[in-house]
Chain A
Amino acid sequence: EPEVTQTPSHQVTQMGQEVILRCVPISNHLYFYWYRQILGQKVEFLVSFYNNEISEKSEIFDDQFSVERPDGSNFTLKIRSTKLEDSAMYFCASRVGGGDEQFFGPGTRLTVL
């Protein structure tokens, strides 16, 4: 069964460093998302992406964040200058064009020291 994959599974970085989180969505899906979950808190929407542009973003997704689909398979989230409060699980999700269900990857645990 097709799955969303994410790399790395765990990323440790120093405050102020740039990180790139990578995702490979399900191959025939057209809509892509990033969510995050701070430990013990709810899953929060960050951004949605369709047709090579951002279609929606939350208040969390400020100028420090960017997304890109550099080729036909990868979808990336970049955090330019990480802060301690960026420590969280980051989930990528994708959905097919005609459906509402979003399918999530296993997540990347980001730890900012």
Chain B
Amino acid sequence: EDQVTQSPEALRLQEGESSSLNCSYTVSGLRGLFWYRQDPGKGPEFLFTLYSAGEEKEKERLKATLTKKESFLHITAPKPEDSATYLCAVKTSGSRLTFGEGTQLTVNP
């Protein structure tokens, strides 16, 4: 059974304080790892797709990286508007996504 574990569960940062979120996975054949952002009461918003170890993607203050066992979402100099829950999901067989529990990020001004 595919498993996705995200850590930490919650993270509080000061504005400008860079950090990383972790997503570790145990799957039987990774066909894509996805990062989403979810605001309270809203649907997940697509951020990145990664396919192979060593791959990196960047968007504004966010950078996602992938190894054979985990992915990191690096947040550089975050702003309060980056506050959200960040979800990691994997695709193995078929096209279903298996999600982790998420990391709730709060950035204080």
Which residues from chain A sit less than 8 Å from chain B, CB to CB? 4, 31, 33, 35, 41-45, 48, 55-56, 58, 91, 93, 95, 100-107, 109
Contacts and interface: CB of A to CB of B under 8 A. Distances in A.
> In this complex, which of A31, A43, A93, A101 has the most chain B Cβ atoms within 10 angstroms of its Cβ?
A43
Interface string B15-54: 0000000000000000110101000011111100100000
Interface of B: 31-32, 34, 36, 41-46, 49, 87, 89, 91, 94-102
A42 B42 contact: no
B99 A43 contact: yes
User: Main SS of chain B's interface residues?
Assistant: loop
Contacts, number: 58
A20 to B, nearest CB: 19
A33 B46 CA distance: 15
A56 B96 contact: yes
B49 A100 contact: yes
A56 B34 contact: no
